[in-house]
Amino acid sequence: MATGRTHRPATRSRGIPEATVARLPLYLRALTALSERSVPTVSSEELAAAAGVNSAKLRKDFSYLGSYGTRGVGYDVEYLVYQISRELGLTQDWPIVMVGIGNLGAALANYGGFASRGFRVAALIDADPSMVGKPVAGIAVQFIDDLERIIEENGVSIGVIATPAGAAQQVCDRLVAAGVTSILNFAPTVLTVPDGVDVRKVDLSIELQILAFHEQRKAGEEAGAEPVQPVEPVQGAGAPQNAGAAEDAAPAVSRGTAPVGGRKGPDGDVPAVMPA
């Protein structure tokens, strides 16, 4: 089994904080919507509201990109779309492999947002021989025995795991050994990976449990009961791994085992860990 230690550097190689990187897809989603409506410029206040952040934080984030806007005019929408896309690496094609084509895997394969966001599903892979050759989203499912060959032939560096929990670590180890260095994990388990491998975890049940907590608290307050004190954030519950971190802490992108909760995306059935 691959082993490694969890760490989360404060900054990326170009000096952009992880918290800023985590917000770039939110800005890109809002900017793309403006571009589709042929809006030429946008103020920091308008864009911040559309992205769900405050304008001061947005301006600070954009300063890391070298974009400061024009006083009285705002930001050029098309240029920002290009600039953020380039920073996120979306100006190139990213082939991905998806392992585990059950109900969740099939739903992910049918998600229409991959191609428009710079990701190409190079292969769908499953361990069930009866699935092999069946088309899902227009792609024939391939057998798990061919995983390494598929990764090498397609130059894949990003893998998606949608297997049952019991199979996820073994699949992860094979992906890493074959050269995959970034993994999106939908399996309800924490993966152990070596240094240099990034893992993002999406756990829908955790997100629902957090919503249930807030619903319970609201119900208690409406009934006049003593307000429930917020619980300390826990690893894997959509909070930063260092639970006492400041508001500006990034959602955990782990080089190790730290999971991060997903959120429902604008396209409906895929959490918004995908670039917008």
Tens-place pLDDT, residues 151-203? 999 999 999 999 999 999 999 999 999 999 999 999 999 999 999 999 999 98
Please tell me whether residue 176 adopts helix, strand or coil conformation: helix
Q: How far apart are CA 186 and CA 179, in angstroms?
A: 20
pLDDT at 27: 94
Q: How confident is the model at residue 232 (pLDDT cuts 50, 70, 90)?
A: low
What does the alpha-carbon distance between residue 192 and residue 259 come to, in Å, rounded to a whole number? 11
* Long-range pairs for 51-59: beta carbons < 8 A, 24 or more residues apart: 51/23, 51/26, 51/27, 52/26, 53/23, 53/26, 57/23, 57/248, 58/27
The domains of the chain are located at 18-88, 93-222+235-276
238: left (phi over 0), alpha (psi -120 to 50) or beta: left
Mean pLDDT over the full length of the chain: 80
Least confident of 153-157, 218-222, 242-246: 242-246
pLDDT at res. 203:
87
Q: Supply 191's token pair.
A: 């993966």
CATH 3.30.565.10 fits 18-88, yes or no: no
| pLDDT tens digits along 100-114 | 999 999 999 998 778
pLDDT given for residue 248 in this prediction? 45
- Give backbone dihedrals phi and psi of 141, rounded to 5 degrees, phi first: -70, 135
Do the first three CATH levels of 18-88 and 93-222+235-276 match, i.e. the same topology? no
pLDDT at 273 over 70: no
Q: Looking at domain 93-222+235-276, does it have CATH number 3.40.50.720?
A: yes
